[in-house]
Amino acid sequence: MKLLVSPAKSLNYESPLPHATCSQPVFVQQAATLNTALRKKSPAELKAIMGISDKLAELNWTRNQSFSVPFTADNARPAVYAFDGDVYTGLDAYTIEEGKWDTLNNSLRILSGLYGVLKPFDLMQPYRLEMGTSFAVNGSKNLYGFWQDKITAQLNRELQPDECVVNLASKEYASAVSFGDLNANVIEPVFKDYKNGTLKIISFYAKKARGLMARYLIDTNAQTADDILGFDRDGYRYSEEHTTDPAAPVFVR
């Protein structure tokens, strides 16, 4: 089972690492190509392109100038321990026991505007490049054009016969995958909460729930679409009543 998640804007390069083994991103050369283009952008240009503050523009200009290959334990960090947003709060990778590290590494895939797709223990240097950024490079008018065929082909190379894909990524990042071209059954869980008597998707809660779902599937070594329906973390339960498409099971809290 492959679990697709989004990256996070917040990064953590300080916490002690529970896992020392690391690997190189499959698209490290493509990341270097993108960084070469980014490196030419001034802080003011980065601010305009990314819609960020002056402070963040300066920070990311510095990151772009500092980018270098090869990645090592001294200049990079395993991706699953570097991202620090709501999805990663739910995943809580720091507490995944050693016996589950292989399952984590074999199943979780992190979509990225700079790196394309990352395995959990792939080294990455700090960056900011959201997939939806209007950034033309190498003849592609945007990052979707640059990445979609590459990411889709890489996932197909990794997929085993009858392996399913669970899309836990946001729409922004999921759009970088051509799901119709994947050699897999694709499941897209939906997380809804009651608010003022109405059942709806609440972005903040849904992000954390995606991480919780990924953690549940890793902990239970889930293999099939039916295994997903047992998810019961943080008050969520599968609702057959609210599910109209088996490929989009709804979990309600």
Distance in angstroms (rounded) separating the CA atoms of residues 97 and 104 = 10
Residue 189: φ, ψ to 5°: -60, 145
Domain ranges across the chain: 2-13+20-252
Q: What was the pLDDT predicted at 106?
A: 96
The secondary structure of 14-81 as a DSSP string is -SPPS----B--TTHHHHHHHHHHHHTS-HHHHHHHHT--HHHHHHHHHHHHH--SS--TTT-EEHHH
Q: For the segment 35-44, what is each residue's pLDDT rounded down to a tens digit?
A: 999 999 999 9
Distance in angstroms (rounded) separating the CA atoms of residues 112 and 190 = 22
Q: Is a pLDDT exceeding 90 seen at residue 251?
A: yes
User: Which among 235, 239, 176 has a CA at the least distance from the CA of 208?
Assistant: 235
Chain center to CA of 187: 16
Q: Cβ neighbours of residue 218 under 8 Å, at least 6 residues apart? A: 3, 96, 100, 103, 104, 107, 108
User: Which among 2, 1, 4 has a CA at the least distance from the CA of 168?
Assistant: 4
Share of the chain above pLDDT 90, in %: 96
User: Which among 136, 112, 142 has a CA at the least distance from the CA of 124?
Assistant: 112
Q: What's the mean pLDDT in 152-164?
A: 96
Q: What was the pLDDT predicted at 197?
A: 87
Q: What was the pLDDT predicted at 46?
A: 97
Is residue 109 within 8 Å of residue 45, measured between CB atoms?
A: no
Q: For the segment 178-197, what is each residue's pLDDT rounded down to a tens digit?
A: 999 999 999 999 999 999 88
pTM score: 0.96
The confidence band for 21, taking pLDDT boundaries of 50, 70 and 90, is confident
146 by Cβ neighbours in 10 Å (0-12 / 13-18 / 19+) ranks as buried
Residue 227: φ, ψ to 5°: -65, -30
Distance in angstroms (rounded) separating the CA atoms of residues 217 and 215 = 6
Q: Is a pLDDT exceeding 90 seen at residue 19?
A: no
Q: For the segment 93-133, what is each residue's pLDDT rounded down to a tens digit?
A: 999 999 999 999 999 999 999 999 999 999 999 999 999 99
Q: Is a pLDDT exceeding 80 seen at residue 20?
A: no
